[in-house]
Amino acid sequence: EVRLEESGGGLVKPGGSLRLSCAASGFTFEKYSMVWVRQAPGQGLEWVSYISSSDTFIYYADSVKGRFTVSRDNAQKSLYLQMTSLRPDDTAVYYCARGGFGELEPFDFWGQGTVVSVS
Amino acid sequence: DIQMTQSPSTLSASLGDRVTITCRASQSISSWLAWYQQKPGTAPKLLIYQASKLESGVPSRFSGGESGTEFTLTISSLQPDDVASYYCQQYAESYTFGQGTKVDLK
């Protein structure tokens, strides 16, 4: 069974930092690209970051570029999101999700999310 | 950047009704379009990918269609379990979600 479990969320002051983690199990982690998606309270979904299976390709939404850094540890089957210079509009539920083998793939499995509050 | 315009934003329908949600892309995305279902307090779930391919385990009352840059999600007969928000997503060039459609019972 594919499982993704996020952790690391919490309350942080504006300008602060936070590191999110996503532990993966039930699939060959190193073969899949991974993404972070966020959802502000009462709002829709916003893609945040993408990292390819061997971290050769990394992309960010304009809203977080220069402030967030995505990384992965294939040996530990884990995905990370280092968030710095946090702003109130970064407040959201952050989901990690599985991409595919290539770039043109939807997100077929999602974690339950971790809440980040910036205030 | 590719924009996705989804409509309607809310939709009230009766059990057994045929329900259609529309998503329009600002430029060609071929068939690189997915639909997700999200129930309150839970993570999104992939329903349809490549515009019309049903994800494994998704009931056959869900279907996807396309015409140029306009895409549709149809529920052929609305069930209580379908009360949720639905999002389209293009993945042709980066990723963009539509604004979402909240479906509830009339």
Could you read off the pLDDT of A88-112 as tens digits, one per residue?
999 999 999 999 877 789 999 999 9
B57: phi then psi, degrees, rounded to nearest 5? 90, -5
Q: At residue B10, does pLDDT exceed 90?
A: yes
Q: How confident is the model at residue B35 (pLDDT cuts 50, 70, 90)?
A: very high
Q: Which residue of A49, A62, A107 is the best one to mutate when testing the B interface, meaning the one whose CB has the most B CBs within 10 A? A: A107
pLDDT at B77: 98
Chain A / chain B CB contacts < 8 angstroms: 50
Check whether B52 has a pLDDT greater than 90. yes
CA angle B95, A59, B101 (to 5 degrees): 20
Reduced to 3 states, what is the DSSP secondary structure of residue A31? helix
Q: Strand B45-49 to strand B70-75: parallel, antiparallel, or no bridges (unpaired)?
A: unpaired
The answer to whether the beta carbons of residues A78 and A15 sit under 8 Å apart is no
Q: How far is A63 from chain B (nearest CA, A)?
A: 13
A45, pLDDT greater than 80: yes
CA nearest A53: which of A17, A105, A6, A15?
Answer: A105
- Chain B contacts of A104, Cβ < 8 Å? 32, 91-92
Per the listing, tokens 């309607």 go with B8
